[in-house]
Structure 1
Amino acid sequence: MVTRRALIAGSAGLGTAAVLGGGAVAAAAGSDEPASEGRHIVGATAITKVYGEGQKLTAVAVEYDRDIDGSSLTTSAFAVTDRTVTKVYANRTTAVADRGEDGRYVIVELSPEDKAALLWGKDAVGASSSPTPSPSGSAGGGTGGGGPTAGDTTPGGPIVPAKATVTQTGTVTTVRGRRYAADGTAVTTSAVVNPIVDDFRQFTFDDPATGRSLKYNLFVPKRYDPRRKYPLVLFMHDASVVNVDTVGPLVQGLGAVCWASPEDQARHESFVLAPEYGEVVIDDNYVPTSLFETTAHLVEAVTEKYSIDTRRRYTTGQSMGAMLSLGLNIRYPDLFAAGYIVAGQWPDSQAAPLADKKLWILVAQDDTKAFPGENAITAVIEAAGTKVGTAVWDAGAGAAQFAADVRALEKQKAPVNYATFLTGTVTATTGASNAHTGTWQIAYSIPGIREWLMKQSM
């Protein structure tokens, strides 16, 4: 998978040769070669977007040799193999926009509901049939079957490369009135733009204490000023992302990228740290591998390197990552100010230290392992004298209802918030095969919970 931004603007000759398979160059200014010679389209770039269920190819930017008049464009002017074209407009860059503007790029938006849109996981078109781990460190991934064991290195994923083939099937008009007739030439994308994902950088942490190496992704605020102090969010993935490309945690769902979105960064500039585990770190025996300790050391190392506010470090994760978040909060009580726990559990016999933590817990009532596990944990927390706010939600609620749900739970003024999804609503809403994996497809799309986390401090 190509994960770094590879823009082709300014490389017209190279782009044409690579995409069209010949030595043609962009038509010279004032020339009038027919479009059938394939000299007006310079190249094409795939554009992706990450959803709760994973990264999808959602648009193609077709680059021309001259600025295109956006008012003349229609959806019938382009076809993309095995995809549904939903919107076509001109733009000055290889980016989707609410409103386009005349420029060298024609943005061909595609339906995210197309089967061929998904780029992540076993359901992606073109994914190999090799087995992948259950998406949890817990047995059966919360669904009752056998799950992976700690130390298992079976690769998860896969990540399918973003690639599309586009054809101009109608007339395109330049801003100077020149008409480029349909020519039937199929152009395959030769570059990829991954909004937000491309804003993360990839590194490897070599832990001198454990002797282990841990790949990780790091988002640094775009206006980073070392004279200021910034919060940090640690996101830890589930077992389905074990031992894949370093960017795996960024493309398998919203758990990491949501915090780095322009909207969230506008409200709370923050660092986002997303490790890529080369093995299953924890299973139902609750005895983690040494990468558990390495994760804590990584957080401290990043804190030392950058201007991180030690009073505003947060942890979140789904399934295996939720289990790690609970375990780290118990083992290192001063490491995080608060945690967002999505579909995870931990032995209630060890849960007493969580009574001193600020937590938002989200789980489905038909998650057969995480739900009873979280019930046991919250019972321990309440027995210790800490108030636990509770709520039951419909996983199919819209944005306005979720915002109201979050506000209502916050009004209980509890340091620990425990929200559960009604039985059947997660699978009905997401189409996931079980409530466990479906929960995190929704969990990180609720802005109010993210906002709550960012308000917490030590």
Structure 2
Amino acid sequence: MLLRRLALVCLSLGLLGSSLMPTASAATGDRRPDRGVQSVTAITRVHTYGQKIDAVAVEYAADVNPRTLGPDTYTVTDSVYNFRYDPIEDLTRYADREVVRVYTNDAPAPRPDGRSRTGRYVIVELAPADRGGNTVIVSRCPTFLCSVKVNPEPPTRIVQNEPVHALRGNGNGRGPVLAPASSAALPLTEPAVNLLVDDFEQSTYLHHGSVLPYAYHLPSGYDPGRGYPLMVILPGHGMGWDGENLGVSLAADIPATAWLTDEWNGTGEDVIVLVPQNQRVGPAAEAEIMTALVEDFIGSHAVDPDRVYASTVSYGSRLAWEAMAERPGLFTAALITGGFAVDDEQAARIASARTPIWVTHGLNDHLLPVDYGRDSARSLREAYTAAGVDPGMAEDLVRYTEYGNEAFSEPDYHAAFGPTYEDASILGWLLRQGGR
């Protein structure tokens, strides 16, 4: 009860209005109108296993001559810490990032073609596969289980190794020097530009005195007269709300933002995405308020009630099993990745709605044994058959995929959402259930 009261107080004080992603470590507005670097901004993107700083935008006082720029113009240094493997003490271990492209732009934003556009910003793109630049760090560890958050003071630094020139003029072939070379390591000065994550809205849902923060995304050109599919993302335990980590459920891994792009979801369809960020108070209570939120959201937005889907990571499976058992048919279909096992009673109740479910698990999952995935598929198929479904149809309704180590693009074998979401055919299958 005390936690809920504290939560309400925190929210009323405006926590939801604070920046959810990496923020400036130096004061904003310290502009130098004559020369030198005016600002430094991180540009982040969510990859399969979480958000990384993919580029740094360096602002100058005038338009920059792109012909004087190259990969050696800048050195970017960042922490190599990864919350999935490393102790928080490793946050102070630094390494140089690999610079892959340098070009100019008229805004602190990347360009897909990497070609320069006239502007005062230099975009320094970094290799996403190198170790540095992860934004998510451990937040709180009230028990042996920890929560995570987006680092409010990212340690990214950039050094300008060579002079940067303005566009040519008045016979000056290289253009006047906007900033001389320097060995000074410049910190980030502005709030980060968080690709896709910044497109989500944050809100809260109150239910019987409890508060549930959540994020949601409506498609561009959202039409209240249409009926859109709704994807409900139920994140892992560490992404639950701990009082200071709002929004990390969007950044810690790919499931929330994947549905915003054709590249990930394998379709051209617009999808509404809803991401509850439950306080970790127990799966039954969490499932109750999450279910109430989903039902309220369906009633207040242009959602096709026949196309409401759940996609879970690890602990989020417990909320899905509870919700589907208590409200059979609430979800049109579900994708359960690296999760807990459904129990036989839950399976029997879920079977009454004949809900299509795809379970995936890592063979060498070190946190939740692979038997959890295998047992879930077996229990559900048996329950569906007992409910009158043909055994062959039951196998089609309840699908199971087991991933060996080679399937993981990063060696966290608990994170079965990785190979699952990297397979667009599975995401396409989910959207086709109950489809048009």
TM range (shorter): 0.7 to 0.9
Matched, 1:300 2:313: no
Which residue of the partner structure matches residue 417 of structure 1?
399
Could you tell me which amino acid in structure 2 is paired with residue 3 of structure 1?
L
Q: Which residue of 1 aligns with 2:20?
A: 3
Q: Normalization by structure 2: what TM-score? A: 0.78
Q: Distance in 2 between matches of 1:444 and 1:106?
A: 33
Any idea what the Cα deviations from partners look like across 1:325-345, whole Å, max 9, x if unmatched? Answer: 222222212311111111222
When the two structures are superposed, what TM-score results if normalisation uses the length of structure 1? 0.74
Looking at structure 2, the residues matched to 270 and 430 of structure 1 have their Cα atoms a distance apart, in angstroms, of 27
Deviations 1:370-417 (A, max 9, x none): 234324324414633345689xxxxxxxxxxxxxxxxxxxxx9x2332
User: Which whole-Å deviations, capped at 9, do the CAs of 1:241-294 have from their partners, x for residues lacking one?
Assistant: 223412021011012111123645971112111111111433xxxxx2x22111
Q: Report the AA paired with residue 115 of structure 2.
A: G
Match of 2:164 in 1: 172
CA contact (8 A) 2:267 2:428 kept: no
Q: Deviations over 1:130-153 (max 9, x none)?
A: 56654xxxxxxxxxxxxxxxxxxx
| CA offset digits 1:310-333 (Å, max 9, x no partner) | 111111111111222222222212
Asked if the contact 2:338/2:415 (under 8 Å) is kept, the reply is: no
User: Which position in structure 1 is the counterpart of 2:148?
Assistant: 157
Matched with 2:116 is 101
Equivalent residue number for residue 229 of structure 1: 227
Structure 2: which 5+ runs fail to align?
A: 1-17, 78-94, 169-173
Tell me the equivalent position of 2:45. Answer: 49
Q: CA deviation at 1:78?
A: 0.6
**Equivalent of 1:87 in 101, 116, 135:** 101
Task: Summarize the alignment of residues 348-427 of structure 1 with structure 2, pairs less than 5 Å apart.
Answer: 348-355=344-351, 356-367=354-365, 368=369, 369-381=371-383, 383-384=385-386, 385-387=389-391, 414-422=396-404, 424-425=405-406
CA pair 184-165 structure 1, distance change in 2 beyond 3 A? same
Shift of 1:46: 0.7
C-alpha distance 121-163 of structure 1, shift in aligned 2 (>3 A)? closer
Cross-structure match for 1:189: 188
Map residues 220-369 of structure 1 onto 2, 5 A cutoff.
220-244=218-242, 245-261=245-261, 263=263, 264=265, 267-282=268-283, 288=284, 290-344=285-339, 345-355=341-351, 356-367=354-365, 368=369, 369=371
CA distance in 2, matches of 1:4, 1:159: 6
Paired residues, what number? Answer: 375
CA distance in 1, matches of 2:273, 2:181: 45
> What code does the residue aligned with 1:109 have?
E
1:64 aligns with 2:46: no
Contact in 1 for aligned 2:278/2:290 (Cα 8 Å): no
- Determine the structure 1 residue equivalent to 2:70: 74
CA shift for structure 1 position 101:
2.2
Alpha-carbon contact 1:43-1:187 (below 8 Å) kept: no
Native 8 Å contact 1:133 1:239 kept in 2? no
5+ residue gaps, structure 1, are 8-13, 18-23, 28-38, 135-154, 283-287, 391-411
**Code of the aligned partner of 1:83:** D
Distance 1:377 1:343, change over 3 A: farther
What amino acid maps onto 2:56 in structure 1?
Answer: V
Indicate whether 1:430 and 2:432 are aligned. Answer: no
Where 1:55 maps in the other structure, the secondary structure is strand
Q: Which runs of 4+ in 1 moved over 4 A?
A: 4-7, 130-134, 262-266, 386-390
Contact 2:309 2:333 in 1 (8 A): yes
For the residues of structure 2 that align with 1:238 and 1:97, how far apart are their CA atoms? 33
Assess, with a 3 A threshold, how the Cα gap between structure 1 residues 15 and 292 changes in structure 2: closer, same or farther.
closer
Report the secondary structure of 2:415's partner residue: helix
1:178 is aligned with what amino acid? Answer: G
Residue identity opposite 1:26 in structure 2: P
Deviations 1:165-217 (A, max 9, x none): 2121113233334143313343221221111111111111001xx33211111
Q: CA deviation at 1:296?
A: 0.8
Aligned CA distance change for structure 1 residues 212 and 328 (closer, same or farther; 3 Å): same
Residues 217, 246 of structure 1: 8 Å contact kept: no
Distance 1:417 1:97 in 2: 40
State the identity %. 27
Root mean square deviation, CA, Å: 2.8
